[in-house]
Structures are given as C-alpha cells and as structure tokens.
Amino acid sequence: MEEKNQSFTELDVWKKARILKNELKEIADKFPPEEKYRLTDQLIRSSRSINANIAEGHGRFTYKDQLHFCIQARG
C-alpha cells in the first residue's frame, strides 16, 4: 500500500492548533497594557510553538522523533 505524502498543513491537529493560536491572540489583545510584555507575550509565543513543534515533528523520519515533537507541542 502506497503512503500519501501529506504536508503538515493538511494535518487536522495542525489546523486545530492554528485556530487555538488565533483565538488566544484575540484574547491576549484584550488584556490590559501592563500585561503586554508579560502574560500576553508568553501566551502568544507558547501558542506559536504548538504549530512549530507539530511542523518540525512531521518532517522527522522516525516515529520516535515525531513523537518527541508531539509531546513538546502538547506541553
């Protein structure tokens, strides 16, 4: 059976993480200005890392490597 060559952008989990990232950005934009460089920045950076880890893991060749990045994304 031939395996389909799928891009990480086609993964449902990556799409859902992107939606979460956008929702968190909208919420963070409503935070008070004094939180701009504290909690807001941390929320935005951590939500971006979910997608980055999924994409990074998708490009790995072994299951163990892929799993490592999925665990990082979950964290």
Contact 73, 49 (CB under 8 A): yes
**Per-residue pLDDT tens for 21-59?**
999 999 999 999 888 888 898 999 999 999 888 888 888
pTM score: 0.75
Token representation of residue 32: 């008070």
Place 15 in a pLDDT band, splitting at 50, 70 and 90: very high
Look at residue 61 and give its three-state secondary structure. Answer: coil
In the chain, domain spans: 11-74
Q: What are phi and psi of 62, to 5 degrees?
A: -110, 155
The pLDDT of residue 1 is: 37
* DSSP 8-class letter at 75: -
Q: Is the pLDDT of residue 62 over 90?
A: no
DSSP string, 1-60: -PPP---GGG-HHHHHHHHHHHHHHHHHTTS-GGGTTTHHHHHHHHHHHHHHHHHHHHT-
